[in-house]
Amino acid sequence: MTSLFSEPCKPLLQWYKKNLRDLPWRHTSDPYRIWISEIMLQQTQVKTVLPRYEQWFQSFPSIQHLAEIPLDDVLKAWEGLGYYRRARFIHAASQQIIDKYNGIFPKQFEDILTLPGIGRSTAGAIASFCFNMHTAVLDGNVKRVLKRWHKQYEATDKQLWDIAQQAIDASKSPAMWNQSMMELGATLCQSHTAKCDICPVNTYCQSAFSNVVDQALSKKKVLVKDVFWQINLHAHPEKGIWLQQRPEKGIWAGLWTPPIIELSQKPECSPCHIHLLTHRRLHLYSKYLSSTPPSDGRWVKQLSEFALPTGIHHLFEKQSLLDTTVSR
């Protein structure tokens, strides 16, 4: 595949300088701050991340601080951002940075790549933004822009990495190049809308004004499986509500929930709450029980002190159980 990026595309960089969104992680080159922003933004929208970003550094001002905190506290701080695996990886990576790099975020791309939860694209972003290295980024936004720009809708990741790397190699400012490609995909060349009329690269792009959005949407078929869960609520007027910690792997790993039983078929009544994950639709049916709770778990009075999955949070909200000493 021939790259169109034999020279850096100046109009893109000029557009970026004029139009970049003023986001807090764009005012720093501190690798700790960039790393956390990149991980938070992986599967969570900017508007959700914004208020949580500064809160994070108030709770965990340094990598050292983060590494010494129990994992449960980190999961609690992650509540509402979803995909909790990311918080577990951040915690493990902070400990690796302390053990292996004396608490200083590594500067070499290969070293960054060894940290838990950091793949090639995130490592590329950190290395270019913080250390001005010529390392490419290939997140979902950049992939989409490259496919459209080159009219290569079926391109493999390997082909896209090659193009992205060629572009970075030709760029004098790898950080700005990566940022501008990410920003273009996030704002003008979106999956559902391509604003080709105001796009700074519309004279270079091979898909400009060619209805790329329809092609993208027709390919987007995500298989979602329905799952029916009974949420057993053991509530006690003085002791609170019985919670268990989920296993280390699987849905809601390491978070706290009431005992859950998977039902083999859909109950006739309506669920109390439906929670959507990437490949699962969880139908949650709450059931109050007066029997003795299972042996593993504990009584909890203040739910706000525990990391609850968003789905359980909503279910408790609907049952008026949140942030109260339970009295049913």
Catalytically active residues, by annotation: 38
Nearest to 158 by CA among 43, 6, 1: 1
149 touches ligand SF4 (CB under 6 A): yes
Q: Which is nearer to ligand SF4, 81 or 181 (CB)?
A: 181
Query: What is the size of the binding site for ligand SF4 (CB under 6 A)?
Result: 15
Q: Which two tokens stand for residue 230?
A: 């009974």
Q: Which is nearer to ligand SF4, 195 or 318 (CB)?
A: 195
Contact 286, 234 (CB under 8 A): no
Beta bridge partners of 173: none
Q: Which pairing describes strands 273-276 and 260-262: parallel, antiparallel, or unpaired?
A: unpaired
Of residues 208-267, which lie at the interface with ligand SF4 (CB under 6 A)? 208, 212
Under DSSP, the state recorded for 115 is S
Q: What is the DSSP string of 257-320?
A: ES-EEE-SS--SSPPSEEEE-SSEEEEEEEEEE-SPPPSSSEEES-GGGS---HHHHHHHHHTT
Q: Which is nearer to ligand SF4, 212 or 231 (CB)?
A: 212
Q: Shortest gap between Cβ of 4 and ligand SF4 (angstroms)?
A: 11
202 touches ligand SF4 (CB under 6 A): yes
Among 12, 194, 231, 321, binds ligand SF4 (CB under 6 A): 194
Stretch that binds ligand SF4, among 63-71, 107-115, 195-203, 319-327 (CB under 6 A): 195-203
Q: Which two tokens stand for residue 240?
A: 């609170």
Distance (Å, rounded) from C-alpha 89 to C-alpha 277?
19
315 touches ligand SF4 (CB under 6 A): no
Among 49, 74, 90, 145, binds ligand SF4 (CB under 6 A): 145
Q: Shortest gap between Cβ of 175 and ligand SF4 (angstroms)?
A: 20
Helix axis angle, 174-187 relative to 10-19, nearest 10°? 70
Q: Which is nearer to ligand SF4, 8 or 117 (CB)?
A: 8
207 touches ligand SF4 (CB under 6 A): yes
Q: Which residues bind ligand SF4 (CB under 6 A)?
A: 145, 148-149, 188-189, 194-196, 199, 201-202, 205, 207-208, 212
